[in-house]
Structure 1
């Protein structure tokens, strides 16, 4: 089973550029980790500084999703 939410490295942000001869090089700063929603195919807006924080939040989101799916199954009428 594929989990709905997973931890991914965040996209670095541009902090400026440096010129070296005729080329410009972008300077970036790492900003931590994001949570990716496999169902919606997008990154959640929240940024986490450490992977441990992101994994903890991801685990909570996946557990909430599982609980809602189980409660939906229990509320369905049986034939």
Structure 2
């Protein structure tokens, strides 16, 4: 398992309005976040495309992969 993985971002509410008993809200377009499996949290950066988030994720995972593979550990996705 990789330490950092790409996850869909949580939509952010922009506005709410009421129609009778129902409440509606509009949300901002969602993008992608990077989740840290070790710290169990999302990183604060938000990426508009999955490809951009995956590039950053790969960059963040590289030092950990080099260390773990150098110690003889093998990972499967």
Q: Aligned residue pairs: how many?
A: 72
What SS is found at the alignment partner of 2:10?
A: coil
Structure 1 unmatched ranges of 5 or more = 74-79
What SS is found at the alignment partner of 2:45?
A: coil
- Is the radius of gyration larger for structure 1 or structure 2? 1
Q: Deviations over 1:10-38 (max 9, x none)?
A: 01111001222121112111231000000
Structure 2 unmatched ranges of 5 or more = 73-77
Partner of 2:55: 56
RMSD: 1.8
TM-score normalised by length of structure 2:
0.80
Q: Specify which structure has the bigger relative contact order, considering alpha-carbon pairs within 8 angstroms and separated by 6 or more residues.
A: 2
